[in-house]
A and B are shown apart, each in its own frame.
Chain A
Amino acid sequence: GAVVSQHPSWVICKSGTSVKIECRSLDFQATTMFWYRQFPKQSLMLMATSNEGSKATYEQGVEKDKFLINHASLTLSTLTVTSAHPEDSSFYICSAFGQYFGPGTRLTVT
């Protein structure tokens, strides 16, 4: 079956620093990847749609300069949280084709 990996699985960073999260499709190609954020005991909220070879599409209220998305190849999409703050602490999950989710990245900003 299709496998999506994410790295790192968890990360702790200091406020003001940047963190990069990688999302890879291991056995298939994806022109589109979706990035979701999930706060504890809450639902998944779509942040942006990552498009290979073009700019990402951000959902309303998501700061594109803060959450940088790059879809450099058909198997790799990255999300960089810039100048992270404690309120950015969350579970970040990527997805392809609506059913193939990465294992998620737990970000804690101290």
Chain B
Amino acid sequence: GENVEQHPSTLSVQEGDSAVIKCTYSDSASNYFPWYKQELGKRPQLIIDIRSNVGEKKDQRIAVTLNKTAKHFSLHITETQPEDSAVYFCAASSGGSNYKLTFGKGTLLTVNP
């Protein structure tokens, strides 16, 4: 089955700095790669996703890059703000968005004011 590795497990940055979280996956059939933000005790929220036919996607301060050859994808957050502090999860799926997801272990991002 699919295996998703996520690094780092914790990340602390100063407000205004950039944050990068990296994930690797094992199943070459995976074609959908979403990123979620989860605040303590709440549901995961989809913040951005990318499909295997695209190499990069950007939405305001958030961007995701995908390298299919190397089987890794990354989340980039620029101009971080304290409200960006949360746990971020990457995930992978081989059947598109309506298919089971395999999640990374998560990254606790702390943005210090």
Using CB atoms and an 8 Å cutoff, list the residues of chain A in contact with chain B.
32, 34, 42-46, 49, 60, 93, 95-99, 101-104, 106
Contact = CB atoms under 8 A, between A and B. Distances in A.
A103 B45 CA distance: 10
Given A34-B101, A97-B97, A98-B98, 15 more contacts: A32-B98, A42-B105, A44-B89, A44-B101, A45-B103, A96-B98, A98-B46, A98-B49, A98-B96, A98-B97, A99-B46, A99-B97, A101-B44, A104-B42, A106-B41
A79 B59 CA distance: 36
Interface residues of B, number: 24
A101 B37 CA distance: 12
Contacts of A45: 103
B25 interface: no
Given A43-B106, A98-B32, A98-B34, A103 B42 contact: yes
Given A98-B99, A101-B43, A103-B43, A43 B89 contact: yes
A13 B102 CA distance: 29
A66 to B, nearest CB: 20
Interface of B: 1, 32, 34, 41-46, 49, 89, 91, 93, 96-106
Chain A contact residues: over half helix, strand or loop, or mixed?
A: strand
A28 to B, nearest CB: 12
A91 to B, nearest CB: 8
A95 B89 CA distance: 15
B39 to A, nearest CB: 12
